[in-house]
Amino acid sequence: MTQITSVNKLPARQEMYQALLNKDASYEGIFVAAIKTTGIFCRSICTARKPKQENVEYFSTCSEALSFGFRPCKICKPLVPLGETPDWITQLLAEVAQSDNIRFKDYQLRERGVEPARLRRWFKKHHGMTFQAYLRAQRLNQAIGRIKHEESVTQIAFDSGYESLSGFGDAFKKLTGVSPILSKSQTLVTITRVLTPLGPMVAGATDKGVCLLEFFDRRMLETQLKRLTKLLNANFVPGEHLLFSVLNQQLSDYFSGKLKVFNIPLDLPGTEFQKNVWQVLSQIPYGTTRSYQKQAECINNPKAVRAVAKANGDNRISIIIPCHRVIGKNGALTGYGGGLWRKQRLLELEQRT
């Protein structure tokens, strides 16, 4: 039988087959596996029974697999973005967003056709907290905003549904790490999950702008969060922010090839050297690349190649500040926190566009 060839370069077949056996999520976005005996194609994390190696073909995109006559798997649903919020949760979150102090009892969830245990499992898996904890975070998030505007802490506590000031204070401190009064001197970073064709990302925003945009599986993510906490004297609270809808739209336009320059406000705490490097990074034209040596020359410090590379790695706002456009002097892809495969995909997208 003739071997099917993918349009884009893929890892070695043995490597991809091993990833399929291991249900390796790190290969999400790199390939889909098409099973010749069943006529379906799956993502790398599929839990279906694994086929023999000789019965598997590999494609870099779902559209390629479809063009060869394969059907999407009903178990892993490769056409649905990984981590996408299902409709039954989207409707619930829309209701939450429209209320200042919404609460849901289990019977109220069931009235809406939502099983509480299923909802709890989904939130634990995708947000690391239960749905009720998410609602509490939302209420406290709103309370923080009101405290910043000098409203009465006592009134806010009762408006937020707490029966006592001490109960509100305890919940507030557990979430933010400080008392309601001290929170006036702290920066609130609202965080959310953003879906992209290259996998889910975590985004953070302050009153000044977007301060974080990293892929969920980046090894340095926890370190970056700790650095932001220190630099901004900040605490992180999941919730909605006015900038998130703008961010989602601009990322969508970017991945579809419609947007070449982002214009969303950014909040970039760091040293003067880092800020200088990030500013020069932002000036690399769409669809082009530049070496670390050239970057050092652009900041009038040609001997600071290593320091420039480190500042690139400290960039907390992927894609928008395009550190993926910096490559080795010999043209090789090097050093990208989101993974070299994502760096290659981003460059391919820009050069193709």
323 a catalytic residue: yes
Residue (of 299, 301, 296, 350) closest to 322 by Cα position: 350
With 60 as the cut, is the pLDDT of residue 99 above it? yes
* 20 occurs within a structural domain: yes
Indicate whether 89 and 180 sit together in one domain.
Answer: yes
Residue that has been written with the tokens 């509100």 in this structure = 168
pLDDT in tens, 135-175: 766 655 554 444 343 344 344 444 444 444 455 455 545 54
Indicate whether 18 and 100 sit together in one domain.
Answer: no
Indicate whether 63 and 17 sit together in one domain.
Answer: yes
Per-range mean pLDDT, top range of 179-188, 274-283, 302-311, 326-335: 274-283
Indicate whether 90 and 169 sit together in one domain.
Answer: yes
* 303 occurs within a structural domain: yes
CA separation for the pair 144, 150 (Å, rounded): 10
Q: What CATH number did the domain enclosing 150 receive? A: 1.10.10.60
Indicate whether 85 and 23 sit together in one domain.
Answer: no
Start-to-end CA distance of the chain, whole Å, equals 35
Dmax (CA) for the chain in angstroms is 75
* 248 occurs within a structural domain: no
Indicate whether 97 and 139 sit together in one domain.
Answer: yes
**β 32-35/40-42 pair status:** antiparallel
Using a pLDDT cut of 70, give the percent of the chain over it: 78
With 70 as the cut, is the pLDDT of residue 24 above it? yes
Contact 130, 120 (CB under 8 A): yes
Averaged over 28-42, what is the pLDDT?
87
**pLDDT band of 101, cuts 50, 70, 90:** low
**Both tokens assigned to 214:** 């990293």
**β 187-194/210-215 pair status:** unpaired
Q: What CATH number did the domain enclosing 319 receive? A: 1.10.10.10
Residue type, 203: A
Packing angle, helices 272-282 and 305-313, rounded to 10: 80
Cα 26 to chain centroid, rounded? 14
* 100 occurs within a structural domain: yes
Q: Could you give the C-alpha distances from 137 to 130, 167, 270, in angstroms and in order? A: 10, 14, 28
Q: Could you give the C-alpha distances from 323 to 197, 284, 310, 337, in angstroms and in order? A: 18, 9, 11, 10
Q: What CATH number did the domain enclosing 25 receive? A: 3.40.10.10
Among 154, 185, 216, which residue terminates a domain? 185
Among 137, 158, 185, which residue terminates a domain? 185
Among 72, 91, 108, which residue terminates a domain? 72
Q: Against a cut of 0.75, is the pTM above it?
A: no
pLDDT in tens, 238-285: 677 889 999 999 999 999 899 999 999 999 999 999 999 999 999 999
- The residues pairing with 10 across neighbouring beta strands, listed in sequence order, are none
pLDDT reported for residue 150: 39
With 60 as the cut, is the pLDDT of residue 318 above it? yes
pLDDT reported for residue 67: 65
170: domain range?
Answer: 81-185
* 216 occurs within a structural domain: no
* 46 occurs within a structural domain: yes
pLDDT reported for residue 142: 53
Q: How many domains does the chain have?
A: 3
Indicate whether 88 and 146 sit together in one domain.
Answer: yes
Indicate whether 62 and 156 sit together in one domain.
Answer: no
Which of 76, 211, 298, 323 is catalytic? The answer is: 323
* 290 occurs within a structural domain: yes
* 130 occurs within a structural domain: yes
Q: Could you give the C-alpha distances from 156 to 97, 110, 133, 152, 242, in angstroms and in order? A: 18, 30, 19, 6, 22
With 70 as the cut, is the pLDDT of residue 73 above it? yes
